[in-house]
A and B are shown apart, each in its own frame.
Chain A
Amino acid sequence: MITSLTDAGQTTTGEAILFWILAVVMVLAAGGLLFARKAVHAALSLIVVMIGLAFLYVAQDAPFLGVVQVVVYTGAIMMLFLFVLMLVGVDASDTLTETLRGQRWIAALGGLGLAVVLAGVVGRAHYGPAAGLTNANADSNPVALARLVFGSYAFALEVVGALLITAAIGAIMLTHRRRLTPRVTQRERSAARVLDGTIAGKPAPGVYARHNAMDVPALGPDGRPIDTSVSRVLRVRGQEADAQEYAARIDRVLSGSWATAPASGVEAAEPPELGEAGRVDEAAAAGAKEQS
């Protein structure tokens, strides 16, 4: 058996190989948590650490905990983290301004000191020969664990159940929002839009523009770019195409020199004229049909 120990408390060679590979991978991934710029990358490297830990639990005669580690930690907790990351938004990255001067270096030094002290104490302590779990796991690991959890620790299990219920209700309470203002229905929204002067909804990116890519802002009937038509995420990341450049091209088209301009991929069949609202609407319908 791969997990059995020798009399002197030494592990088998197979387990040693598994340990050294996983230890390197896990420490590197934990470093990713420390150094990754984006929160999503940090979450992914933490998932790598947790799966590595599940492997180590199985190798250490704790298959039940290995399964629970995958189901609870990587399956539930890390998915909750990713869910909250998506809720908070991609632009919620680390701030780099230091409110306390030198805090970063002092904290790094403190962490290094903790590592040295802990590893030193653990490495120098004398444990005696390891017993191994072959006897304790005689009826298989889950059965032996169940005897303990539902036997000696039954009261602790009930307290933990009460804690879980309390946590669930607490989370509902914390994220509950009481409605302070009357509910705005679709009818009121539409009335407000009519009063505001914009009857239709916001245009999709690329409408009227010479490209229908996601990052090209839509152009209004007057040829001005509408910045709000580009997704907020692209604007925050600074990946929006330059609106002024496209507006200048449209100006060139409107001034009549469009025929002499070098033909690009999207041909301007007929420059929309400002005076006739009907023709502009026709062009919009054609553009929408092309987009879909």
Chain B
Amino acid sequence: MTLTHYVVLAAILFSIGATTVLVRRNAIIVFMGVELMLNATNLALVTFSRMHGNLTGQVLAFFVMVVAAAEVVIGLAIIISIFRTRRSASVDDVNLLKS
């Protein structure tokens, strides 16, 4: 087995996350799809770090994790404030600007 297998797994997980974002309607599940994409990218970064024998990839993955934590906090706060005003967590109901 070569390290390419890890990168292929990361690509598969990334596309499953992207499909989740496109298909699901519940805003929280859509957000989980974004998290899955971030995790898949981290796996690719760690694998590339090991391929090149250089720890910079792991440092970048660490920063991705920190930024993802900040992003989750803000995103969930937005979802909660939308749920408070619209009583719904569905992304289809957020169409106030339409027509």
List A residues at the B interface (Cβ < 8 Å).
9-11, 15-16, 19, 23, 26-27, 30-31, 33-34, 39, 42-43, 46, 49-50, 53, 56-57, 60-62, 64-65, 68-69, 72-73, 76-77, 80-81, 84-85, 87-88, 92-95, 97, 99, 104, 107-108, 110-112, 114-115, 118-119, 122-123, 127, 130-133, 135-137, 141, 144-145, 148-149, 153, 156, 160, 163-164, 166-168, 170-171, 174-175, 177
Contacts and interface: CB of A to CB of B under 8 A. Distances in A.
A9 B53 contact: no
Contacts of A84: 28, 76, 79-80
A107 B19 contact: yes
A290 B67 CA distance: 55
B92 A80 contact: no
Nearest to A106: B22
Interface residues of B, number: 72
The prevalent SS among residues of B at the interface is: helix
B70 A10 contact: no
B52 A131 contact: yes
A136 B54 CA distance: 6
Interface string B40-77: 00110011011111111011011101111111111011
> Which of B7, B31, B32 has its CB near the most chain A CB atoms (within 10 A)?
B32
> Which of B6, B47, B55, B68 has its CB near the most chain A CB atoms (within 10 A)?
B55
Contacts of B73: 80, 167-168, 170-171
A30 B13 contact: yes
B81 A11 contact: no
Contacts of A73: 35, 39, 65, 68
Given A49-B36, A156-B63, A108 B23 contact: yes
Nearest to A92: B89
B29 A33 contact: yes
B99 interface: no
Nearest to A167: B70
Given A11-B1, A136-B54, A108 B32 contact: no
Contacts of A39: 26, 28-29
Given A49-B36, A53-B42, A73-B65, A34 B55 contact: no
A100 to B, nearest CB: 9
Contacts of B9: 19, 23, 26-27
Given A92-B89, A111-B15, A115-B12, A65 B29 contact: no
B99 to A, nearest CB: 13
A46 B53 contact: no
Given A10-B1, A92-B26, A94-B90, 5 more contacts: A49-B13, A77-B69, A81-B76, A94-B24, A107-B22
Contact of A148 (B7, B19, B56, B72): B56
B74 A171 contact: yes
Given A50-B39, A174-B74, A88 B5 contact: no
A27 B1 CA distance: 18
A110 B88 contact: no
A145 B59 contact: yes
A31 to B, nearest CB: 7
22 contacts: A53-B39, A53-B43, A65-B46, A69-B42, A76-B69, A77-B72, A81-B28, A81-B32, A92-B90, A112-B15, A114-B15, A115-B15, A118-B15, A127-B4, A130-B51, A131-B51, A141-B55, A141-B58, A145-B58, A170-B74, A175-B77, A177-B84
